[in-house]
Amino acid sequence: MQDITNSSDVELLVKTFYSNLLLNEEVKPIFAHVDFEKHMPHMIAFWEFVLLDKEGYTTNVFDKHVNLPLKAEHFAIWLGTFEKTIHSLFVGEKANMAIQRAQTIAYSFETKMKQMGKLG
């Protein structure tokens, strides 16, 4: 296995991750309304920004998720699936950084949503 080094790696990560995530019956209904074909380029661009310092992504990710019907356990599922996906595809500094960033994102989203009373 190799590390995450380019946009193709990020695309593989994001597509594999969401394929795996949508197999989870607890999480799947939350994303039932999402057109993944349309949304996928945005998710790839976000992770390219996070992992490869690629410019151009300016959307507020939290705002896009704050009104989803999320529960605390969904964050653990999301994070666990992300970590398993990384470990199945990559190894190295960027792979470790991806996990650290995902942990930070999950923690900050969950904390903010709790403070706002938006977490079920």
Give residue 68's pLDDT: 82
Name, in order, each residue with C-beta under 8 angstroms of 46's C-beta and a sequence gap of 6 or more. 57, 59, 61
Mean pLDDT of 81-104: 98
CB–CB of 102/13 below 8 Å? no
Q: Where are the domains of the chain?
A: 7-116
**pTM, rounded to two decimals:** 0.91
Nearest to 11 by CA among 56, 33, 42: 42
Q: What CATH code would you report for 7-116? A: 1.10.490.10
Confidence of residue 21 (pLDDT cuts 50, 70, 90): very high
Give percent of the chain with pLDDT exceeding 90. 78
Q: What is the pLDDT of residues 24-69, one digit of tens each?
A: 999 999 988 889 899 999 999 999 999 999 987 778 887 877 788 8
Confidence of residue 14 (pLDDT cuts 50, 70, 90): very high
